[in-house]
C-alpha cells in the first residue's frame, strides 16, 4: 500500500524504519500530550503493532516519507480506537519536530482521509486528542474535521473529539472541483 501526495509518500512501516521513528517517538516535546515518551522497546512494539494492523485490517499507521529526500519523518494513518466507549476509525499523526509547521501532518491526514472514504465502508472518521494539544486539533480541522465531542478519559483528562463524515468529505470534494 502506497499513498502519494505532492510532497509525501505514505507506506507501510517496516523494522528498517526504527531509527527514523525513534527520533520522533523518543522526543519528549512531540510526545508531551502522550502518556509517555517511547524508549527503544516501545518504538519496536509500535512498529510491530502496525505491521499486525496491516495484516488484520489492511491499514494502520503508515510511515510518512518526504519525496524530496526519502527521509521518514513520522507516521500517519488509520487505526481503530476506543473513543467514548466505542471502537471508531481514527486518523492519527506524529511528525518529527524539525518538520512540523510545514503542513506535512495536514497533507498526510488529508491523504489518509481520502484513502479511508475510498477504500473502507466507514462513514465517519475521527481524530481525538488532549484538549491542550493545539497542533493536533488544528491538523484535524485542516483535514476537514469539526469538534463533535468533549469528554473525560479514564485518567480524568479532557479529550476533544473531531470528526468528518463521508457526506461532508463529498461536499469538500465538490467545492474543490468548483474552485478549479
- Provide the pLDDT for residue 32: 77
Work out the mean pLDDT of the chain and round it to a whole number.
93
Q: Mind giving me the DSSP string for 79-115?
A: EEEEETTEEEEEEEEEE-GGGTTSSHHHHHHHHHHHH
Residue 18's CB is within 10 A of a number of other CB atoms, namely 16
Specify the pTM. 0.93
Domain 2-179 grouped into CATH 3.10.180.10:
no
Three-state DSSP at 159 gives strand
- Provide the pLDDT for residue 180: 55
Q: How far apart are CA 9 and CA 161, in angstroms?
A: 27
Q: What residue spans define the domains of the chain?
A: 2-179
Q: What is the DSSP letter of 29?
A: T
- Provide the pLDDT for residue 113: 98
- Provide the pLDDT for residue 1: 84
Three-state DSSP at 137 gives helix
In the chain, which residues have pLDDT < 50?
none
Q: What is the DSSP letter of 162?
A: E
Amino acid at each position: 500500500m502506497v499513498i502519494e501526495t505532492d510532497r509525501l509518500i505514505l507506506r507501510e512501516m517496516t523494522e528498517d524504519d526504527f531509527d527514523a521513528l525513534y527520533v520522533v517517538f523518543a522526543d519528549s516535546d512531540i510526545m508531551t500530550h502522550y502518556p509517555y515518551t517511547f524508549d527503544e522497546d516501545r518504538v519496536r512494539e509500535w512498529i510491530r503493532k502496525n505491521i499486525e494492523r496491516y495484516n488484520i485490517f489492511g491499514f494502520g499507521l503508515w510511515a510518512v516519507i518526504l519525496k524530496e529526500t526519502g527521509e521518514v519523518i513520522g507516521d500517519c494513518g488509520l487505526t481503530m480506537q476506543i473513543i467514548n466507549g466505542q471502537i471508531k476509525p481514527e486518523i492519527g499523526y506524529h511528525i518529527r519536530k524539525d518538520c512540523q509547521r510545514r503542513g506535512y501532518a495536514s497533507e498526510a491526514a488529508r491523504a489518509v482521509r481520502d484513502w479511508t472514504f475510498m477504500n473502507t465502508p466507514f462513514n465517519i472518521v475521527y481524530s481525538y486528542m488532549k484538549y491542550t494539544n493545539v497542533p493536533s486539533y488544528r491538523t484535524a480541522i485542516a483535514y476537514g474535521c469539526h469538534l463533535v465531542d468533549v469528554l473525560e478519559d479514564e485518567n480524568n483528562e479532557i479529550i476533544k473529539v473531531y470528526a468528518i463524515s463521508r457526506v461532508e468529505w463529498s461536499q469538500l470534494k465538490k467545492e474543490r472541483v468548483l474552485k478549479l
